[in-house]
């Protein structure tokens, strides 16, 4: 957010007359006046700095009221509020330009999201803000959030980003999907063509920030033919690795997600060259890394009888997460810094969501627990409650 500049005029008194300090010699009187003027300027500047600091310290440090089991929503909203580029997009009303460029009749979700973001960053007080108007709009877009049942934060994030994207999609009329044959192209050319095809239908500030591209390679065990498919992704759901030592790292989880799998038996796909079902190996790599990488730790099982939660501690880096080994191209920029975490404490039967966020203006970490916002040490960010991790791509402009 650009700093607000103000002009102030400070009048420093001229040398006082000799009668003002009759007991001082002329040279001492001059020194006294200089000291008085210097102290006045120093004091006034100090007051301005303190006032600026007090004003700055309240920016983005406002809680959200719990409307009844809405901690999952509050946690994600605070993570997005501290997403630097998305915050600025809302604060500067850039979404209005995108709204004017399309002909959609209903764009209320982005309007309410932007309004809420502006309130969090421009509020003059520290009282918690009610997100009731925003909740009204998100449940219109996604009726599953009607009512006050506890919901999954990652699912809420997916619905919210999809809704915001649809509101400000730069493509007013989506063209028909043409099934073109790109198999004669190199993988790099094919990936770029598939990405451009995606942008012909889905193109927004949300896509600019959050969407990357996965490359799936399928290799036939009989003839050795390798077919590739490129798909966009909004986040990556990572299985939690298990180790006998009990120490699991985020890199272990990413390696488990991208490891080569054997597709056999009922899973056998049809080989493009053999024209019949064959045993194949499948492997994921990242073709295009997004500016904002959202990593979801799969803590909740999908068991039909009874869901359970994994409370495994996953160690994740705060800075310089290098995912270069998972890139399709060696030259890809894949170094990220952590700036927000959505946490879930408790069990599947009853739990609570909070958010740990690094304020993009102050550079300090804060604990967002519904209405309460408290400072925290960066050493407290890693915990077994971490559920959704938000990373920002390191660039030369922002380290």
Residue 143, class by beta-carbon neighbours within 10 Å (0-12 exposed, 13-18 middle, 19+ buried)? exposed
Residue with tokens 């007051």: 47
Q: What is the DSSP string of 195-258?
A: HHHHHTT--SHHHHHH-EEEEEEEEETTT--EEEEEEEES-EEEPPP--TTS-EEHHHHHHHHH
Question: From CA 325, how far away is CA 320, in angstroms rounded?
Answer: 14
Residue 312, class by beta-carbon neighbours within 10 Å (0-12 exposed, 13-18 middle, 19+ buried)? middle
Compute φ and ψ for 275, nearest 5 degrees. Answer: 65, 25
In the chain, the largest separation of any two C-alpha atoms, in whole Å, equals 109
Q: Which of 90, 296, 352, 357 is catalytic?
A: 352
Quick check: 236 and 336 in contact, CB under 8 A?
no
Residue 71: active-site member = yes
Quick check: 160 and 201 in contact, CB under 8 A?
no
User: Helix crossing, 108-122 with 153-168: angle to 10°?
Assistant: 110
Smallest CA-to-CA distance from 248 within 312, 325, 342 is with: 312
Question: From CA 388, how far away is CA 377, in angstroms rounded?
Answer: 19
Question: From CA 4, how far away is CA 122, in angstroms rounded?
Answer: 12
Report the half-sphere exposure of 270 (CA within 13 A, side-chain side): 3
Strand partners, 152: none
Report the half-sphere exposure of 57 (CA within 13 A, side-chain side): 9
Question: From CA 337, how far away is CA 390, in angstroms rounded?
Answer: 9
Residue 90: active-site member = no
Angle at 222 between CA 217 and CA 228, to 5 degrees: 15
Question: From CA 284, how far away is CA 212, in angstroms rounded?
Answer: 13
Quick check: 278 and 220 in contact, CB under 8 A?
yes
Question: From CA 180, how far away is CA 152, in angstroms rounded?
Answer: 37
Q: Which of 71, 79, 220, 253 is catalytic?
A: 71
Angle at 191 between CA 221 and CA 99, to 5 degrees: 140
Active site residues: 71, 352
């Amino acid at each position: 957010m650009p700093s607000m500049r103000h002009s102030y005029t400070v009048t420093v008194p001229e040398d006082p007359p000799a009668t003002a300090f009759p007991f001082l010699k002329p040279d001492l009187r001059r020194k006294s006046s200089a000291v008085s003027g210097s102290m006045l300027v120093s004091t006034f500047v100090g007051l301005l700095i303190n006032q600026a600091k007090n004003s700055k310290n309240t920016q983005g440090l406002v809680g959200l009221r719990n409307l009844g089991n809405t901690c999952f929503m509050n946690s994600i909203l605070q993570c997005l509020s501290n997403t630097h580029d998305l915050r600025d997009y809302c604060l500067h009303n850039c979404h209005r330009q995108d709204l004017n460029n399309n002909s959609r009749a209903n764009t209320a979700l982005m309007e309410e999201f932007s309004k809420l973001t502006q309130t969090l960053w421009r509020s003059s007080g520290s009282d918690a803000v009610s997100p009731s108007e925003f909740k009204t709009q998100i449940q219109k877009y996604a009726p599953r959030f009607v009512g006050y049942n506890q919901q999954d934060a990652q699912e809420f994030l997916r619905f919210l980003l999809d809704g915001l994207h649809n509101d400000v999609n730069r493509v007013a009329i989506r063209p028909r999907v043409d099934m073109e044959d790109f198999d004669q192209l190199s993988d790099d050319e094919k990936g770029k063509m598939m990405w451009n095809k995606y942008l012909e239908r889905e193109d927004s500030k949300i896509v600019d920030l959050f969407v990357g591209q996965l490359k799936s390679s399928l290799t036939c065990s009989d003839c050795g033919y390798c077919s590739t498919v490129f798909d966009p992704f909004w986040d990556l759901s990572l299985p939690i690795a298990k180790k006998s030592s009990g120490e699991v790292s985020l890199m272990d989880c990413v390696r488990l997600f991208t490891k080569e799998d054997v597709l056999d038996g009922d899973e056998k796909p049809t080989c493009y060259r053999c024209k019949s079902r064959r045993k194949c190996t499948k492997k994921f790599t990242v073709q295009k890394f997004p500016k904002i990488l959202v990593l979801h730790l799969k803590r909740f099982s999908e068991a039909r009888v009874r869901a359970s939660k994994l409370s495994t501690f996953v160690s994740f880096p705060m800075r310089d997460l290098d995912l270069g080994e998972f890139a399709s191209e060696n030259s890809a920029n894949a170094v990220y810094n952590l700036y927000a975490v959505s946490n879930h404490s408790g069990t599947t039967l009853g739990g609570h969501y909070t958010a740990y966020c690094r304020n993009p203006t102050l550079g300090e970490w804060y604990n967002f627990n519904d209405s309460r916002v408290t400072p925290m040490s960066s050493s407290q960010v890693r915990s077994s409650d971490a559920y959704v991790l938000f990373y920002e791509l390191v660039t030369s402009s922002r380290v």
